[in-house]
Chains A and B, each alone.
Chain A
């Protein structure tokens, strides 16, 4: 005799199918067949309804969904590729990868990323459903964090940038500014000012030396004249004897 106990978690309709013990064997086998059919129908309905259910989860302006906009021609120009189902598959796979990375689990799959409302612009909406519970959507904040974490990898998978692969609502974090220890302009300034100081000092020193040389030259000329007078060199001939200083012509050097 087949067991006619209805499992506790069964839907109420099955429970109402319980046949009282002591029923004739035909009724019992009929109940079993019916039970199996119902289970199969329900399973089939469930399986068929799941995508439909999921489809209702993904809607434009869904509370937990994001809109993605892709501009391939702007980014790549002549080398732009065609957006087709394969590319969409890559997108879903990349998103699953991002979720895996963020949660540090290996439970996420391509099926967990639902996409809808694709346009010719190439823009579409997507939601992420939890692998444990297919009716539960991953909250917006978590999806945003996951995308931000792997943004670079997602961009590179498509040869795009933050500007051409847009997640509307998720702002890219800006690159940290490079702060060199010395601002570059100070270095150039230092070089120029050093050269200028060197120039000033060189010119001033050379001016001073020139002036000293001129003064020295004038003094020496005067000194030579007096010496020649004193030593008694006249017309280039050395005269013997002591020169009589009474006859020195000092008047020549007095200024008028």
Chain B
């Protein structure tokens, strides 16, 4: 099929196959290289496998029909995830450059796609590292027994527990008060929290030390950060399975509800999860792939990494829900015990008269004879299914639900330390890709002088990110982070991914791409890749984008806040964003998306308005080919 947009001068901008072979043999030492294939695979796996696998996928799985959710997830993994991944790997390996370099080489008007990737990597990296700072805070606080979030603190005159804690729970109090010291609304900034600033500083310094020399240092770090999470997950699985109620959790997670497949939002959520889970469109994967040798089998890599990513999601969901099942059972037992005690006290019955077994019928008998007393007792309804479906995702899962479960396990500090090390490794390995996606385009755009070493540029990026990320260390930091998460990391990525596919298939040319892949790995990509690259994957990304855009624009943008003086406390209060937030939202979501057409227009205008036609000519001399440019007014 000859569907291709005109693209003059492409051959001048990209190395030809012969040049690639030559570069391969001469081993030009200028560009960094992977020490071995394992480093490359571990880095990519680390970038793809992140916090989302642990705290987003299990929630989606459970809320969209359990085992049935696997069906849309796996289908979309194959139709959307793998093709996009293969595309990014192949184009990076072929054009030997980071995201800005690759898109500029395909067509100078496409530089905007690379710049958009740069902006998104920068913004997402800022708030993602703040989550790592929170994880580090919890990690630092895990080295004490009893854990600080296992009991409420006592008030000043030692008469009672602190009221905010007594009304909610020790874990809620520790998260919202001791950690975040959260204010009641996003407008109320509340000043910087010094302990959070320290943790943020620690997180950025640690990231800097690992990314100091680019893949030289990250390549060593990933041996630990990419493998340790699997070890910890296995340890938690073994521990979890020995706890009471864990199998209830796993059963609850995987019980299929096939009716959910009829619900379109299930498919859309599955598509979005596959897309975000693969860390596509950040530019980091293109960069990592460009350090490979030309004949590396990128097709095989894409398939393997996709399978590992999918498997990790399911494995993590199993572990998380075994622990959630344990927590739900503990809560259920406590609730029932409380009710039984209330009944025994009210009717002065001997202990052991009412047990879990005969609770229901005893309650019925008593209700029949003394209904007013039962009413006045205000007994709580204890239902295991309700406790299990208190499905939480995101920071709520890690810092509230899971920490509560840990306090109920014996030797809690050990499990706490292991859990937060795992979260830290998951987050840090994703940050490597983020930094790569920020630093390499900056180098390609020549924003900094070429003399400056990579250490300096990485240092500047980390320093600027740290300073801006101090927003998240304020009292209202949690609300800012939720804002960044909803807008910076969602819509722009979909736009970039769509543009990437159009650029490679229709501007670079799918035929040329097929030939390149045949040159690199030895055989042409088969029919599956052709169909997905040309139609299926772009269509899926477009549908998800339209759905997201329409939902976000049509709904009232609200956020949830922790307000001890609200009526429904401890339920979080739903507040509307103030008007000036819309400016911020536009900067976060609008600017990266609009940079794509914006840069194209800018270059067009510059070329037209300068009225200079640049003629390039080549002269063959004895020593070398000399490029000469003359400008004719």
Known A122-B350, A203-B209; contact A185-B158, beta-carbon cutoff 8 A: no
Q: Which of B158, B161, B202, B341 contacts A192 (CB 8 A)?
A: B202
Which residue of B has the minimal Cβ distance to A75? B351
B217 interface residue per 8 A CB criterion: yes
**B462: shortest Cβ distance to chain A, in Å?**
11
Contact A207 B453 (CB under 8 A): yes
Q: Which of A173, A188, A211 contacts B140 (CB 8 A)?
A: A188
Contact bitstring A154-188, B, C-beta under 8 A = 1, else 0:
00000000000000000101111100000011111
Alpha-carbon distance A28/B247, docked complex (angstroms)? 96
> Which residues of the other chain, A, contact B153 by a CB distance below 8 angstroms?
177
Which residue of B has the minimal Cβ distance to A184? B144
**B79: shortest Cβ distance to chain A, in Å?**
43
Known A177-B153, A204-B212; contact A193-B623, beta-carbon cutoff 8 A: no
B159 interface residue per 8 A CB criterion: yes
Known A173-B158, A177-B153, A189-B140; contact A120-B212, beta-carbon cutoff 8 A: no
The tally of residues in B whose CB lies under 8 Å from a CB in A reads 36
Contact B345 A193 (CB under 8 A): no
Q: Which of A121, A184, A211 contacts B344 (CB 8 A)?
A: A121
**B222: shortest Cβ distance to chain A, in Å?**
16
A197 interface residue per 8 A CB criterion: yes
Contact bitstring B142-178, A, C-beta under 8 A = 1, else 0:
0110000000011000111100000000000000000
Stretch of A36-44, A65-73, A224-232 on the interface side: A65-73
> Which residues of the other chain, B, contact A74 by a CB distance below 8 angstroms?
341, 351
Contact B202 A71 (CB under 8 A): no
Q: Which of A121, A185, A200, A204 contacts B348 (CB 8 A)?
A: A121
Known A69-B345, A73-B352, A184-B144; contact A196-B202, beta-carbon cutoff 8 A: yes
Known A123-B348, A177-B153; contact A200-B205, beta-carbon cutoff 8 A: yes
B199 interface residue per 8 A CB criterion: yes
A30 interface residue per 8 A CB criterion: no
Contact A72 B351 (CB under 8 A): yes
Known A120-B349, A203-B209, A207-B455; contact A174-B137, beta-carbon cutoff 8 A: no
Contact bitstring B190-202, A, C-beta under 8 A = 1, else 0:
0000010011011
Which size class do A's interface residues fall under? 20 to 34
Which residues 118-160 in B have Cβ within 8 Å of A in the complex? Answer: 136-137, 139-141, 143-144, 153-154, 158-160
**B559: shortest Cβ distance to chain A, in Å?**
29
A199 interface residue per 8 A CB criterion: yes
Contact A197 B205 (CB under 8 A): yes
B213 interface residue per 8 A CB criterion: yes
B206 interface residue per 8 A CB criterion: yes
**B626: shortest Cβ distance to chain A, in Å?**
11
Alpha-carbon distance A122/B208, docked complex (angstroms)? 65
Contact bitstring B204-225, A, C-beta under 8 A = 1, else 0:
0110110011000100000000
> Which residues of the other chain, B, contact A193 by a CB distance below 8 angstroms?
201-202, 205
Contact bitstring A9-33, B, C-beta under 8 A = 1, else 0:
0000000000000000000000000
A256 interface residue per 8 A CB criterion: yes
> Which residues of the other chain, B, contact A203 by a CB distance below 8 angstroms?
209, 212-213, 217, 455
A119 interface residue per 8 A CB criterion: yes
Contact B158 A207 (CB under 8 A): no
**A184: shortest Cβ distance to chain B, in Å?**
5
Q: Which of B199, B352, B455 contacts A204 (CB 8 A)?
A: B455
Alpha-carbon distance A74/B198, docked complex (angstroms)? 45
**B137: shortest Cβ distance to chain A, in Å?**
7
Q: Which of A123, A176, A197, A200 contacts B212 (CB 8 A)?
A: A200
> Which residues of the other chain, A, contact B217 by a CB distance below 8 angstroms?
203
Which residue of B has the minimal Cβ distance to A256? B623
> Which residues of the other chain, A, contact B351 by a CB distance below 8 angstroms?
71-74, 121-122
> Which residues of the other chain, A, contact B205 by a CB distance below 8 angstroms?
193, 196-197, 200
Contact A196 B160 (CB under 8 A): no
Which residue of A has the minimal Cβ distance to B352? A73
> Which residues of the other chain, A, contact B345 by a CB distance below 8 angstroms?
69, 121, 123
Alpha-carbon distance A123/B349, docked complex (angstroms)? 10
Contact B161 A174 (CB under 8 A): yes
Contact A207 B140 (CB under 8 A): no
> Which residues of the other chain, B, contact A177 by a CB distance below 8 angstroms?
153-154
Which residues 81-121 in A have Cβ within 8 Å of B in the complex? Answer: 119-121
**B61: shortest Cβ distance to chain A, in Å?**
34
Known A184-B143, A196-B206, A200-B208; contact A189-B198, beta-carbon cutoff 8 A: yes
Which residue of B has the minimal Cβ distance to A202? B209
**A129: shortest Cβ distance to chain B, in Å?**
25
> Which residues of the other chain, B, contact A174 by a CB distance below 8 angstroms?
154, 158-161
Alpha-carbon distance A184/B416, docked complex (angstroms)? 15
Alpha-carbon distance A184/B252, docked complex (angstroms)? 39
Known A188-B143, A196-B202; contact A207-B348, beta-carbon cutoff 8 A: no
Which residue of B has the minimal Cβ distance to A198? B209
Which residue of A has the minimal Cβ distance to B206? A196
> Which residues of the other chain, B, contact A186 by a CB distance below 8 angstroms?
140
Q: Which of B137, B141, B341 contacts A184 (CB 8 A)?
A: B141
> Which residues of the other chain, B, contact A173 by a CB distance below 8 angstroms?
158-159
Which residues 211-238 in A have Cβ within 8 Å of B in the complex? Answer: 211
Which residue of A has the minimal Cβ distance to B417? A188
Known A177-B153, A189-B198; contact A120-B348, beta-carbon cutoff 8 A: yes
> Which residues of the other chain, A, contact B161 by a CB distance below 8 angstroms?
174
Contact bitstring B345-359, A, C-beta under 8 A = 1, else 0:
100111110000000
Alpha-carbon distance A54/B351, docked complex (angstroms)? 30
Which residue of B has the minimal Cβ distance to A199? B209
Which of B154, B160, B202, B348 neighbours the largest number of chain A CB atoms within 10 Å of its CB?
B348
**A124: shortest Cβ distance to chain B, in Å?**
10
Which residue of A has the minimal Cβ distance to B155? A174
Alpha-carbon distance A99/B611, docked complex (angstroms)? 105
**B314: shortest Cβ distance to chain A, in Å?**
33
Contact B137 A200 (CB under 8 A): no
Alpha-carbon distance A189/B206, docked complex (angstroms)? 12
Contact A176 B202 (CB under 8 A): no
Which residue of A has the minimal Cβ distance to B154? A174
> Which residues of the other chain, A, contact B209 by a CB distance below 8 angstroms?
196, 199-200, 203
Alpha-carbon distance A16/B453, docked complex (angstroms)? 122
Contact B213 A119 (CB under 8 A): no
Alpha-carbon distance A185/B349, docked complex (angstroms)? 48
**B1: shortest Cβ distance to chain A, in Å?**
49
Give the interface of B toward A (CB within 8 A).
136-137, 139-141, 143-144, 153-154, 158-161, 195, 198-199, 201-202, 205-206, 208-209, 212-213, 217, 341, 344-345, 348-352, 453, 455, 623
22 A-B pairs (CB sep. < 8 Å): A71-B351, A74-B341, A74-B351, A119-B348, A121-B350, A171-B159, A173-B159, A174-B159, A185-B144, A185-B195, A188-B143, A189-B199, A192-B140, A192-B206, A196-B205, A200-B208, A200-B209, A200-B212, A203-B209, A203-B213, A204-B212, A207-B212
In the A-B complex, the 5 residue pairs with the smallest Cβ-Cβ separation, listed nearest first, are A185-B140, A119-B348, A121-B348, A120-B350, A73-B351
Give the interface of A toward B (CB within 8 A).
69, 71-74, 119-123, 171, 173-177, 184-189, 192-193, 196-197, 199-200, 203-204, 207, 211, 256
Given contact pairs A188-B139, A199-B209, A203-B209, enumerate 9 new A-B contacts (beta carbons under 8 Å): A73-B352, A74-B341, A119-B348, A174-B159, A177-B154, A189-B199, A192-B140, A207-B453, A211-B453
